[in-house]
Structure 1
Amino acid sequence: MATMQDVANLANVSLATVSFTINNSKPVSPKTRAKVEAAMKDLDYRRNAVGSALARGRTHVLALLYPALQHRFSPTSIQFFTSAADQARLRGYNLVLWPMSNDAEGVTELTSSGLVDGVVLMEVQLDDPRVGELSKSNVPFALIGRTRDTTGIPFVDVDFEAAVENAVDRLVQLGHTDLVLIDGGIGNQLLGGYGPVARTRKAFGEVTTQRGLTGSIMSGLHSSAGGRELARELAAKHPRTTGVLMMNEHAGPGFVAGLQQAGYRIPQDISILALASSLDTTGMSEPEMAVLISPADELGRLGVDILINQLEKKDQPLPQVLIGCSYSPGATMSKAPDRAVGS
C-alpha cells in the first residue's frame, strides 16, 4: 500500500507539501498540486480520511446521541434521524447515530475522542447528566428536547404544554368532561425524569383543573400488548371516561383494538386523540386515530442547524425554539355520548 512518502518521492516534492495538498491546510501552487495528485493516482494512494480530518482539527462529523437502551425507536424518532441527517449532508457534514445509555460517562468518552465536531442530544431528561457533561466540554451541542433549567442551553422542542391544551380543548368542544391521559411512564424503558412525559403530565393536570374537568393519568408498557392491557384497565377503573389523550406510540394500536374487544364503539362511545405522534403510527389502528402530529422533520433540521451555526458562526446567540403540533382528524373523534360505557 502506497504511503505519503511514496507520493512525495514520485512527485519530487517534500512530505509536507503532500500533506498540505491532501489536507488543504496550506496554499499549494496549481502546478505542484497537479504533480502530487498525478502521483497519488499513479500509486493508487488512498488517504486516511479520519487522519486528514484530525490533522485539520475538524472531522465534519456530528453525533446524534440517542439512549437506545432506555427508549425504543419509533416511527417518529426515525423521522428525527432522517431529517437531521439530510440537513447535515446539505450543509457539508456527516451525521452518525450514536446509541448510548443516558449517563454522563459515555458522553465524556465521546467528546474527548476528537472524532466528532459537535453533538445533537435527543430524549432529554429534566435533569440530564449528559447536558451537564456537554456544558463542561469544548464540544458544541444542541438539544432536541429541553432540561428543567434551560439557561444558556440551545434547544428545539415540541411545545408540549400547548399541545396538551389544544388536545383538551378539542375534546371539551365535543362535550367531553371526563378525560384520561395515557403515557409510557413505566417500565425499564423509561428515562428518569423524561422531559416530554413530565411536561405533558404537568400541563394535563393544570389544564383539566382550570377547566373544571375530571382528569386521570394511566401509564403502560411501550407495546401493543401494553396497549391492550391499558384498554382493560380503563374499562375497569374509568368507565365514565369518554375522552383519551394517547401519548404512548407503541401502545396506541393495541389500545384501540383492546377497547373494541371490551365492547366500546370508537368514536361513538369514546374519543381518542394521539399526542406528538406520527401519521405512520396512528394509521396502524382501525379506525385511524386522530393526532396532533409531532413536528419531527422540522425539529431534526433545526437541531442540526443550531449546532452547525455554533460551529461556523460562534458569535450568534444560542436559540431556544418551541414548535407546535399540527392536527389530523383521523376517525376517532366524536361528540361525547350521553353516558359512558358501563356507567
Structure 2
Amino acid sequence: MQQVADRAGVSIATVSFVVNGTKYVTPATTARVKAAMRDLKFRNNVVARALASRRTRIIALLFPTTGNRFSPTTSEFFMAAAERASERGYHLVLWPVDPAGDDLDDLVSGGLVDGVVLMEVRMDDPRVAKLSELDVPFTLIGRTRDSSGLPYVDIDFETTIEDSLDHLEELGHRQFGLVLEDLAGTPMDGYAPHLRVEATFERSIADRGLTGTVVYSESGSEGGREAARELLEAAPDVTAVLIMKDDSSAGLLVGLYAAGRRIPEDVSVLSIASSGAAGDQHYPRLSTMVAPGRELGTRAADALIEQLDGTSADLPHFLLPCVLRPAESTAAAPRSA
C-alpha cells in the first residue's frame, strides 16, 4: 500500500479511503490512486478487508427464481444499481431467491452481504417480513400493501395509468381494454404493480364515465393472441388497449390484425412500464409509457448504501411515473366510436 501511495503522491490513509470507500476522496485523486494500483498490479483483498471491518461491501439484488421475469426494464434496474454501487465503493450481485423467502436465512446470516435490494414485490410479500425479522438493511424496488414504514423506490403506477388514459381520452377514445399477465395460482400471485395498475384503471375508468375491460394474458406471443381474442369477444367496440406485458405485445398486435382491426386506425395500443427500445421492435412502433428504470436502480442503490453508511436518517420513499413516448400505435379514435 505504501508503494501505491508513493506512486500516486498521496498518503497511505488516502489509499485506504479509496480502497475501502470509507471517506470521500476527490475524483482526480481517486483516479491517480487507481492508476497507481493498476501499474503496480495491486489487488485489493476483499476477504481480508471484510474480516477486519466486519463488512463485505457487497450488496445483493434479490430476484425471484420463478418464471422468466428478467425483462429489459429489469436489466436497466440492475445495471444502474450496479454502476451506482461501484461508484460508492460497493459491489452489487444479482441473487436469485425463492419467492417465499425460505432461502434468505443462508444469504443473510452467513454474512455474505451487507444489505439487499428486493425486486418484484408483492402486496403481501413474505420476503419483506423475513428481511425485517432478520434485521438486515434493505430497500424495496416496489411497494407492499402498507409500505409506510419501509424504505422503497417504485414506479408511480397510479399516475402512469392516469396519464395513459389522459393521452388516449384526448385522442377521443372511450372504450378501453387493459391486458395484464395472468399470475393467478403462481408464486407471483399478488404482484403489486399489476394490482395497482388494475385498481387504478378500473377506478379511473368509472370516474371518467368510460368503459373498460380487463383481460389476462398467458406468456409469449400466443398468450397475446389469446388476450386479443378474449378482449374483442368481451368488448367488441374497444378502440384503445393498454398492455403491461412485453413478451405478449407482438401477439396482441397479431391477434388484433387477425380479427380485422388495424393499428392504430381501428384500435390504439399503448405499452405500459416498458422501454422505447422494446416498443421499436414492433410494427407499428408502439407508443410507450417508458419506465424510469435507470433512475429507480440508482435511487435504490443510494437508499441502501446510505442506510449502511449511516449518512441519512430519512426513510426513502420515491415514486417516479413512467413518461409517455408517442409512436405509431396510438391515434385518434375512429369516427364511429
Give the TM-score band, short-chain normalised: 0.7 to 0.9
Partner secondary structure for residue 203 of structure 2: helix
Contact 2:62 2:117 in 1 (8 A): yes
- What does residue range 239-254 of structure 1 map to in structure 2 within 5 Å? 239-254=236-251
Equivalent residue number for residue 65 of structure 2: 68
Q: Deviations over 1:71-126 (max 9, x none)?
A: 52111111111111111111111100001221122122211110001100000011
Contact 1:185–1:197 (Cα < 8 Å) also in 2: no
String of CA shifts for 1:35-55, please: whole Å, max 9, x gaps: xxxxxxxxx998863354134
SS in 2 for 1:105: coil
Matching residue of 1:263: 260
- Are 1:50 and 2:64 matched, yes or no? no
Deviation at residue 198 of structure 1 after TM alignment = 0.5
**Cα contact 1:54–1:114 (8 A) shared by 2:** no
Q: Quick one: which amino acid aligns to residue 112 of structure 2?
A: L
Distance 1:174 1:190 in 2: 38
- 2:55 is paired with a residue whose SS is coil
Asked if 1:107 is matched to 2:104, the reply is yes
CA drift at 1:231: 1.9
1:139 aligns to 2:136 (yes or no): yes
- Checking the alignment, whether the CA contact within 8 Å between 2:160 and 2:289 is kept in structure 1 is yes
**Which structure has the bigger radius of gyration?**
1
Q: Partner residue of 1:15?
A: none
CA–CA distance in structure 2, aligned partners of residues 79 and 23 of structure 1: 27
Are the structure 2 counterparts of residues 164 and 48 from structure 1 closer, same or farther at C-alpha, using a change threshold of 3 Å?
A: same
Q: What letter is aligned with 1:175?
A: G
Q: Which residue matches 2:171?
A: 174
Deviation at 1:244, TM superposition (A): 0.5
Is the partner of 2:102 in helix, strand or coil? helix
1:331 is matched with which residue? 328
TM-score by length of 2: 0.84
Is 1:222 the counterpart of 2:185? The answer is no
Look up the match of 1:191.
Answer: 188
One-letter amino acid matched to 1:66: F
One-letter amino acid of the counterpart of residue 130, structure 1: R
Counterpart secondary structure, 2:202:
helix
Deviation of 1:189 after TM superposition, in Å, equals 5.6
Aligned with 1:69: secondary structure?
coil
Check the 8 A contact 1:123/1:145 in 2, yes or no. yes
Quote the residue 2:274 is aligned against.
277
Q: Give distance in 2, aligned partners of 1:220 and 1:227.
A: 6
Q: CA RMSD, aligned part only?
A: 2.3
Q: Residue 91 of structure 1 aligns with which residue?
A: 88
Q: What is the deviation of 1:266? A: 0.7
Q: Does 1:205 align with 2:216?
A: no
Letter in 1 for 2:238: T
Percent of counterpart pairs with the same letter? 44
Question: How many Å apart are 1:314 and its aligned residue?
Answer: 5.4
Q: Report if the CA contact (8 A) 1:253-1:282 is conserved.
A: no
Contact 1:83 1:298 in 2 (8 A): yes
CA contact (8 A) 1:120 1:144 kept: yes
Q: Deviations over 1:201-257 (max 9, x none)?
A: 100011000001111100101312211221222233321000101111110122112
> How far does residue 289 in structure 1 lie from its aligned partner after superposition?
0.7
Question: For residues 314 and 46 of structure 1, do their structure 2 counterparts lie closer, same or farther at Cα, with a shift above 3 Å needed?
Answer: closer
Per the TM alignment, residue 137 of structure 1 is displaced from its structure 2 partner at its CA by 2.1
Q: For residue 29 of structure 1, what is the aligned residue in structure 2?
A: none
Q: Could you tell me which runs of 5 or more consecutive residues in structure 1 were left unpaired when the two chains were aligned.
A: 1-21, 25-43
8 Å CA contact 1:70, 1:101 repeated in 2: no
Q: 1:162 to 1:23 in 2, by over 3 A?
A: closer
How far is 1:317 from its partner? 1.2
Contact 1:224 1:252 (C-alpha < 8 Å) held by counterparts: yes
8 A Cα contact 1:60 1:116, kept in partner: yes
2:300 counterpart of 1:318 = no
Is residue 2:197 matched to residue 1:231?
no
Q: Aligned partner of 2:208: which letter? A: R
| Contact 1:70/1:190, CA 8 A, preserved across alignment | no
Q: Alpha-carbon deviation of 1:133? A: 1.1
SS in 2 for 1:259: helix
Moved more, 52-61 or 294-303: 52-61
- Counterpart-to-counterpart distance in 1, 2:213 and 2:293: 27
Residue 118 of structure 2 is aligned with which of 116, 121, 129? Answer: 121
SS of residue paired to 1:142: strand
Local SS of the residue matching 1:139 = coil
Which stretch of the first structure deviates more once superposed, 309-318 or 123-132?
A: 309-318
* Residues 306 and 312, structure 2, Cα contact 8 Å, conserved in 1: no
